[in-house]
């Protein structure tokens, strides 16, 4: 088992990892930037090291400084959290070269899944349904045949992409060349890889993802799904588990396929398979090889601590939870609380002059802010996650409404009122919303 873990992250996820370490009896090292000297993750850790100036590039993304911090403090594991270096293959490799354990999958699995074409091929080979697509677009004839088969609209995506960059929807046959060329240029600029591929464009899908957990001995379990369709500009706003519209049969069918695919890969740790879901069909898009922001809703409905399990798996422990032990119970919703203007969505950094967070049965707040804390302008605007849990969805929504009303954050703008509006819409209440919800909201 690990003796000391360095947490290569900040904010609420750094606290989340700290808490898991403490419960496992593992010492913790926080890293921080100059802007984060008084951050809660620094105060809570056993040791802390400044790794650079305020910009993420020179601190939380500064691989040599982070490796040096781990070496100086004798850390035997590094947890990357999410974002920053969590899906950086080179970071995982360098850590292993220093005989420190990267708490995540093997670097080769980060690499494979970093290429969406390769990821889709692997899933396709393992009978996981994928979005119908065309990978080799060098032949105009192949493109024409593909369009004849699936019909317009289609979408161009970057092989190294994610988060919406290098994507173009094509509704008009005459736009194909322009769309491909501009997607290529954007992909080259963003990912230094201009490889793009085509997919049939699904118009009103949900975004549903399956959580998996694997140990290093080939045992894999699935932990149900999360419906993450409430998004804006590829940033998720609200996630829930289970999805209101998914039948037990469909859940079991897709979960079994995911489990088999992940087993055959020899994948280790936590992972998420992202799907579009339309007309009762799943279509695999990509796999995330990190712990995700929205992992708490899965923890609430399964009762399983995903971060502890992730750490145990990385230390080589055998999974002690069998698939039969995983019983989805009740309902959980997460609202991401952002420091941003409620209408313009422009980030709103600054000092929190008053702070009161909601509490009571079934309320969980994962946040690292406190009264008097100054939200820095250098990083993501998410300052916390409000998670509710109840026996059923309706009570879970009622709890969320109450908790949002109770949440007081003064001195900066937040999206708390926006969440209040969203959860009261008939679309959200029915559960029958899709990925277009936010673009038609107001
Ligand atoms: C799609 C799609 C429809 N059809 N692919 C957006 C981010 C990237 N991970 C994939 N995305 C999409 N891919 C096909 N074939 C629609 C989206 C999409 C989307 C997906 C999930 C959640 C929100 C979204 C918002 C806009 C577009």
Active site residue 226: no
Cα separation, 270 vs 213, whole angstroms: 5
Average pLDDT of 241-260? Answer: 98
Which residue among 141, 165, 200 closes a domain?
A: 200
Cα separation, 78 vs 315, whole angstroms: 11
Burial class (CB within 10 angstroms; exposed 0-12, middle 13-18, buried 19+) of 249: exposed
Cβ atoms within 10 Å, residue 99: 8
pLDDT digits (tens, 9 = 90+) for 24-71: 999 999 999 999 999 999 999 999 999 999 999 999 999 999 999 999
Atom of ligand 1 nearest to the CA of 133: 15
Q: Using a 6 Å CB cutoff, which residues line ligand 1?
A: 131, 155, 162, 164, 199-202, 207, 231, 234, 276, 285, 435
Question: Both 352 and 412 in a single domain?
Answer: yes
| Residue 123 in domain | no
| Residue 111 in domain | no
The two three-digit tokens of residue 224, written as one number: 């149900």
* Per-residue confidence (pLDDT) for residue 164, from 0 to 100: 81
Binned at pLDDT 50, 70 and 90, residue 294 comes out as: very high
Cα separation, 295 vs 314, whole angstroms: 18
Distance 332 CA to ligand 1 centre (A): 24
Question: Both 82 and 231 in a single domain?
Answer: no
Q: H or E element: which one contains 14?
A: helix 11-23
Please state the pTM of the whole predicted model: 0.98
pLDDT digits (tens, 9 = 90+) for 371-405: 999 999 999 999 999 999 999 999 999 999 999 99
Which one of 290, 336, 364, 393 is the catalytic residue? 290
288 and 274 Cβ atoms separated by less than 8 Å:
yes
* Per-residue confidence (pLDDT) for residue 162, from 0 to 100: 78
Question: Both 86 and 153 in a single domain?
Answer: no
Question: Both 341 and 192 in a single domain?
Answer: no
Residue 361 has pLDDT above 80, yes or no: yes
Domain membership of residue 168 as a residue range: 132-200
Distance 28 CA to ligand 1 centre (A): 38
Question: Both 342 and 436 in a single domain?
Answer: yes
Find all residues with CB under 8 Å of 425, minimum gap 6, and list them.
Answer: 441
Question: Both 304 and 434 in a single domain?
Answer: yes
| Residue 124 in domain | no
| Residue 121 in domain | no
Lowest pLDDT segment from 236-240, 377-381, 438-442:
438-442
Question: Both 293 and 377 in a single domain?
Answer: yes
| Residue 118 in domain | no
| CATH number, position 20 | 3.40.50.20
Distance 343 CA to ligand 1 centre (A): 23
Candidate of 275, 277, 285 to mutate for ligand 1, largest count of ligand atoms within 8 Å of Cβ? 285
Cα separation, 137 vs 142, whole angstroms: 7
Candidate of 133, 151, 164, 433 to mutate for ligand 1, largest count of ligand atoms within 8 Å of Cβ? 164
């Amino acid at each position: 088992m690990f003796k000391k873990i360095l947490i290569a992250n900040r904010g609420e996820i750094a606290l989340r990892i700290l808490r898991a370490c403490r419960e496992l009896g593992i010492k913790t090292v926080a890293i921080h930037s100059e802007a984060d000297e008084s951050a809660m993750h620094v105060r809570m850790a056993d040791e802390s090291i400044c790794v650079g100036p305020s910009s993420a590039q020179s601190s939380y993304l500064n691989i040599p400084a982070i490796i040096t911090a781990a070496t100086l403090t004798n850390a035997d594991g590094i947890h990357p959290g999410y974002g920053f270096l969590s899906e950086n293959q080179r970071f995982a490799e360098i850590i292993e070269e220093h005989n420190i354990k990267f708490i995540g999958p093997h670097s080769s699995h980060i690499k494979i899944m970093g290429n969406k074409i390769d990821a889709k091929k692997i899933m396709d080979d393992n009978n996981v349904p994928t979005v119908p697509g065309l990978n080799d677009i060098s032949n105009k004839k192949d493109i024409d045949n593909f369009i004849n088969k699936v019909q317009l609209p289609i979408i161009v995506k970057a092989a190294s992409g994610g988060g919406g960059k290098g994507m173009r929807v094509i509704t008009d046959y005459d736009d194909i060349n322009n769309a491909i060329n501009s997607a290529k240029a954007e992909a080259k600029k963003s990912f230094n890889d201009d490889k793009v591929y085509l997919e049939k464009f699904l118009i009103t899908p949900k975004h549903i993802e399956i959580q998996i957990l694997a140990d290093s001995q080939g045992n894999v379990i699935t932990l149900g799904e999360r419906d993450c369709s409430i998004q804006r500009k590829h940033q998720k706003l609200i996630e829930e588990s289970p999805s209101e519209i998914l039948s037990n049969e469909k859940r079991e069918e897709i979960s079994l396929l995911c489990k088999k695919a992940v087993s055959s890969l020899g994948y280790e740790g936590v992972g998420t398979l992202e799907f579009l879901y339309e007309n009762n069909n799943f279509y695999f898009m990509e796999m995330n090889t990190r712990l995700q922001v929205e992992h708490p809703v899965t923890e609430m409905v399964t009762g399983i601590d995903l971060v502890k399990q992730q750490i145990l798996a990385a230390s080589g422990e055998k999974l002690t939870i069998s698939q039969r032990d995983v019983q989805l119970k009740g309902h959980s919703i997460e609202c991401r609380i952002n420091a941003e203007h409620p209408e313009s969505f422009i980030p709103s950094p600054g000092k929190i002059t008053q702070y009161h967070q909601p509490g009571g049965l079934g309320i969980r707040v994962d946040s690292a802010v406190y009264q008097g804390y100054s939200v820095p302008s250098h990083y993501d605007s998410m300052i916390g996650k409000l998670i509710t849990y109840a026996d059923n969805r309706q009570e879970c929504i009622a709890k969320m409404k109450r908790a949002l009303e109770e949440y007081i954050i003064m001195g900066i703008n937040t999206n708390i009122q926006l969440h209040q509006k969203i959860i009261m819409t008939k679309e959200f209440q029915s559960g029958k919303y899709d990925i277009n919800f936010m673009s038609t909201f107001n």
